Amino acid sequence: MADKEYVCAYNHCLHHGEKVKASEAVVIGNKKYHWDCAATKQEIAECASTYMEYMEDKTQYPVVMRILNTLVFKNQVPPEYILKQIKKSKLYYKSKPVHALYGLRRLFWEYEMKMG
């Protein structure tokens, strides 16, 4: 019997709409994902939750998710770098993290140009 295929539930699917086989799918809730799409989704969610720990206005979560998705998918900033910078800024400022997430894009590209 043929392996059943599903459409990846991730909005920013890394496989451009290619279906995922049931045997290879990662199930989160009732939704099925490619393994790397699920990992990326979890990393971005971790960045957002870490950032939101120190935000006073919790209604900004959708905006933070939109900014993080733009940084990762449009500007090619790795989620690991974003998480590291948010944690680093929390250690430095103690009471408030980086409030301008888009500033991480410039920091990352300056870092890449120096290293590359």
Query: Mean pLDDT for each 10-residue chunk of the chain (116 residues)?
Result: 83 88 90 93 93 82 92 91 85 63 80 69
Into how many domains does the chain fold? 1
| Residue tagged 């500007």 (tokens) | 75
Does the residue 53 lie in any domain?
yes
Does the residue 30 lie in any domain?
no
Structure tokens at 91: 């250690």
Q: Provide the residue range defining the domain that includes 66.
A: 43-115
Rounded to the nearest 10 degrees, the angle between the axes of helix 79-93 and helix 35-52 is 20
Specify the pTM: 0.82
Stretch (H or E) spanning 21: strand 20-21
Does the residue 65 lie in any domain?
yes
A 10 A CB-CB count for 44 gives 21
pLDDT for 97: 54
Does the residue 23 lie in any domain?
no
Please state, in angstroms and rounded to a whole number, the distance separating the CA atoms of residues 103 and 58. 21
